[in-house]
């Protein structure tokens, strides 16, 4: 298709990133990792040294952060205030603080607007996050909600970061709880999204399934 927007939502470790990047490449489109945007803002907040509990200051730092967002599905490169943050945004400090920063309404409003601008400018785009189908791109051509068992998700994440499976499972449970219970735009499945449980499925299998869904829609 000339133009298409695919929304991929789901909890951490459901396979969203790998699948979204592969799908974007397959449709010759770009890829937007909205979680990385929340992470880059969180990195900037931590860097500034403001107290995370001081919401006004956190919002101020977030607003003043100059974000550069890469959308190449093969190498999505991010910078915050001119600094390469690709490695730092995956570190434990950012992972530990990101859900709290992402729960602040003004931070979400700012990033959602930014995300919508990137989507409007693209011809074909795969967007992954928690609130893409519900808030960011409710008119997306395809909306998928990826899930997987808690054990499978922890297994995948710890293989990626070379961390302990039990600790990873506990951290995923903590973030799921925060992300699903926050008042503004919590993680939830859109009524018109197709749920796909990827437990035990290989990446190719998931990508092919999404390509079939997309071909039958557009
Ligand atoms: O997907 P990832 O694990 O990188 O996302 C990091 C965090 O960013 C999530 O745990 C969530 O708190 C937040 N997030 C969000 N809305 C999105 C994407 C991510 O609140 N659309």
Domains of the chain, each with CATH number or no CATH: 4-217 (3.40.50.300)
**Would the CB of 39 count as within 6 Å of ligand 1?**
yes
Q: Is 96 annotated as a binding residue?
A: no
Each residue of 87-96: pLDDT tens digit?
A: 999 999 999 9
**Would the CB of 88 count as within 6 Å of ligand 1?**
no
**Would the CB of 78 count as within 6 Å of ligand 1?**
no
**Would the CB of 14 count as within 6 Å of ligand 1?**
no
CA of residue 34 to ligand 1 center, whole Å:
7
CA of residue 86 to ligand 1 center, whole Å:
15
To test the pocket of ligand 1, the residue of 102, 148, 160, 193 to mutate (highest count of ligand atoms within 8 Å of its CB) is 102
Q: ∠ at Cα 14 (126, 203), nearest 5°?
A: 70
CA of residue 73 to ligand 1 center, whole Å:
18
Lowest mean pLDDT among 75-89, 102-116, 144-158: 144-158
Each residue of 157-173: pLDDT tens digit?
A: 888 777 888 998 998 99
CB 201 within 8 A of CB 152: no
To test the pocket of ligand 1, the residue of 36, 116, 130 to mutate (highest count of ligand atoms within 8 Å of its CB) is 130
Is pTM beyond 0.80? Reply is yes
Across 171-186, b (16+ Cβ under 10 Å) vs e yields: bbeebbebbeebeebe
- What distance in Å separates the CA atoms of residue 146 and residue 57, rounded to the nearest whole number? 34
Nearest Cα neighbor of 38 from 67, 11, 14, 18 is 67
**Would the CB of 179 count as within 6 Å of ligand 1?**
yes
ipTM of the complex: 0.99
Each residue of 19-54: pLDDT tens digit?
A: 999 999 999 999 999 999 999 999 999 999 999 999
């Amino acid at each position: 298709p000339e133009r298409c927007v695919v929304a991929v939502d789901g909890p951490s470790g459901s396979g969203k990133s790998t699948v979204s990047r592969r799908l974007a490449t397959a449709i010759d489109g770009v890829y937007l990792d909205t979680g990385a945007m929340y992470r880059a803002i969180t990195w900037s907040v931590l860097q500034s040294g403001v107290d995370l509990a001081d919401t006004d200051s956190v919002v101020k730092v977030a607003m003043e952060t100059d974000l550069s967002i890469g959308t190449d599905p093969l190498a999505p490169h991010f910078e915050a205030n001119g600094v390469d943050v690709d490695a730092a945004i995956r570190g434990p400090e950012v992972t530990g603080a990101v859900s709290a920063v992402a729960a602040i309404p003004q931070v979400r409003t700012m990033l959602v607007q930014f995300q919508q601008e990137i989507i409007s400018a693209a011809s074909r785009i795969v967007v992954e996050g928690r609130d893409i189908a519900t808030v960011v791109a409710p008119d997306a051509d395809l909306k998928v909600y990826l899930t997987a068992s808690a054990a499978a998700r922890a297994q995948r994440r710890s293989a990626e970061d070379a961390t302990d499976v039990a600790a990873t499972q506990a951290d995923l449970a903590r973030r799921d709880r925060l992300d699903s219970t926050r008042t503004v735009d919590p993680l939830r499945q859109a009524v018109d999204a197709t749920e796909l449980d990827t437990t035990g499925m290989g990446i190719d299998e998931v990508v092919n399934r999404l390509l079939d869904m997309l071909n039958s829609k557009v």
